[in-house]
Amino acid sequence: MATLKELAKKEELFTGGHRLCAGCGIPPIVRLILRSTDSNIVATTATGCLEVASSVYPYTAWKVPWVHSAFENAAATITGAEGAYKALKRKKRLPGSDQERDIKFIAFGGDGGTYDIGFQALSGALERGHNFLYVCYDNGAYMNTGVQRSSATPLGSNTTTSPAGEVILGKQQWRKDLTKIVAAHNIPYVGQASPHNWRDLSKKSEKALAINGPTFLNVISACPLGWYAKPEDSIALCKLATETCYWPLYEIEEGVLKVNYKPKDKRPIMEWIKPQGRFKHLFKADGGMEIIEEFQRRLDEEWERLLELDGKRV
Q: What's the pLDDT at 191?
A: 98
- Beta-carbon contacts of 301 under 8 Å, excluding residues fewer than 6 positions away, are none
184, part of any domain:
yes
107 occurs within a structural domain: yes
User: How many domains is the chain built from?
Assistant: 1
Q: Give 13-26 pLDDT, tens digit per residue.
A: 999 999 999 999 99
Question: Does residue 314 belong to any structural domain of this protein?
Answer: no
Coil, helix or strand at residue 66: strand
The tens digit of pLDDT for each residue in 243-271 reads 999 999 999 999 999 999 999 999 999 99
Is 96 within the bounds of a domain? Answer: yes
Give the pTM. Answer: 0.97
Number of Cβ atoms within 10 Å of the Cβ of 138: 27
- Tell me, what's the pLDDT at 96? 80
Residue 207 lies in a domain: yes
Q: What is the domain range of residue 74?
A: 4-309
* DSSP annotation of 112: I
Q: What is the spatial distance between Cα 69 and Cα 117, in angstroms, rounded to a whole number?
A: 13
Question: How far is 284 from 313, CA to CA, in rounded Å?
Answer: 44
Q: What is the CATH number of the domain that holds 123?
A: 3.40.50.970
User: Taking every pair of C-alpha atoms in the chain, what is the biggest distance, in angstroms?
Assistant: 70
98 lies in some domain: yes
Contacts of 155 (CB under 8 A, 6+ apart): 170, 171, 172, 173, 174, 175, 291, 294, 295, 298
Give 284's contacts (C-beta < 8 A, 6+ positions apart): none
**Would you place residue 2 in the very low, low, confident or very high pLDDT band (cuts 50, 70, 90)?**
confident
Domain assignment present for residue 60? The answer is yes
| Tens-digit pLDDT profile for residues 214-249 | 999 999 999 999 999 999 999 999 999 999 999 999
Task: Read off the amino acid at residue 48.
Answer: G
Query: Packing angle between helix 74-90 and helix 119-128, nearest 10 degrees?
Result: 30
Pick from 89, 95, 272, 82: which is nearest to 194 by CA? 272
